[in-house]
Amino acid sequence: MPLPSHVTLVDVGPRDGLQNEKHTVGAADKIELVRRLQRAGLTEIEVTSFVSPKWVPQMADAAEVMAGIERQRGVRYHVLVPNLKGLEAALPTRPDEIVVFGAASEAFSRKNINCTIAESIERFAPVVQAARAKGCKVRGAISCAVGCPYEGDVHPDRVELVVRLMKDIGVQHVGVADTIGVGTPNKVRAAMERALAHYPIAEVSGHFHDTYGQALANIYACLEMGIHVFDASVAGLGGCPYAKGATGNVATEDVVFLLDGLGIETGIELGALVDAGAFISGVLGRPPVSRVARAVLAKRPLAEEL
Ligand code: HMG
Ligand code: MG
């Protein structure tokens, strides 16, 4: 199969990227990050999550951030919601897409959202119905699709079970997530195949944390399958508070560099994206994790001297 000619990247930096930060990042900085991402050409941005502030304090300002972003035509704004309470808070902030998040591992489901997989589906069902009735698209994230920090290897049968359950309740798109970054191409392919058995290719995406440095290889394996939607996080930020030791998502800069090199169109301008990553890294007081961003930034002073 030829590689896709266009890839859509969803930048999850403002949400996944920041949710696990120890020090509070102010709403104004989150809003500025969203502004810079859209300026770089991102058209899908996961802005925040309407979760319990006791569980994830960093996302307590979800409504303020959604109210503060400068909406741009052609850009879609996604938010996570775990339950009806989250949806009720999210809807007035006019998200284009809501994300319910389940897991292929029982242990992770309990740690992350405090319920079993079956209970999570029961909880999501009215959320999906109500969100769709309000015109929001619904994405379902499936964490631990290849490995779990508590249960180890996760069999593709477990992924397919959750994919089917999500389809049954009306979830329109599934995001297959390697929460702890342990996947390698064959394992990722096997998980993706189970999603593709139930959803069209445009409605299946990959979400790869880069803990073991395998994320770009996994994305390439997905491209070979024709998958053309991926989550990524500017500067390589990210992590889940309930997946200890897992590092950030694959950096958007690294994915864009790969796709540019393959001649695959994204609509994203790498230089402006590096600027967005440098901005938020400055706020956090550390350099970007992205190898591409570091390489681009290292060359800049030289270019300025010429
Ligand atoms: P619970 O404690 O079982 O919920 O948590 P509860 O219904 O018993 O409520 C407990 C308290 O939370 C109550 O407040 C509720 O009002 C409040 P109290 O009466 O004690 O003052 N509450 C809420 N407040 C605000 N917004 C809400 C909300 N719901 C309840 N929506 C719950 C269950 C799901 C709420 C909790 O476990 C939770 O918020 N979990 C979120 C965890 C999370 O955000 N994890 C990270 C995102 S997922 C991720 O990163 C993975 C992903 O990137 C893919 C991948 O990499 O795998 C997507
Ligand atoms: Mg994640």
pLDDT tens digits for range 105-125: 999 999 999 999 999 999 999
pLDDT band at 303 (very low <50, low <70, confident <90, very high): low
Asked if 57 and 300 touch (Cβ cutoff 8 Å), the reply is no
Pairwise CA distance, residues 304 & 34, whole Å: 27
Spell out which residues have Cβ within 5 A of ligand 2, the ion.
16
Q: What is the pTM of this model?
A: 0.97
Report pLDDT digits (tens) over 71-98.
Answer: 999 999 999 999 999 999 999 999 999 9
Report pLDDT digits (tens) over 47-80.
Answer: 999 999 999 999 999 999 999 999 999 999 999 9
Closest by Cα among 159, 262, 248 to 212: 248
**Is residue 240 annotated as a catalytic residue, yes or no?**
yes
Ligand 1 atom closest to residue 101's alpha carbon, by position in its atom list: 58
Distance between Cα 263 and ligand 1 center (Å): 41
Distance between Cα 51 and ligand 1 center (Å): 4
Ligand 1 atom closest to residue 56's alpha carbon, by position in its atom list: 44
| Domains defined for the chain, CATH in brackets | 8-305 (3.20.20.70)
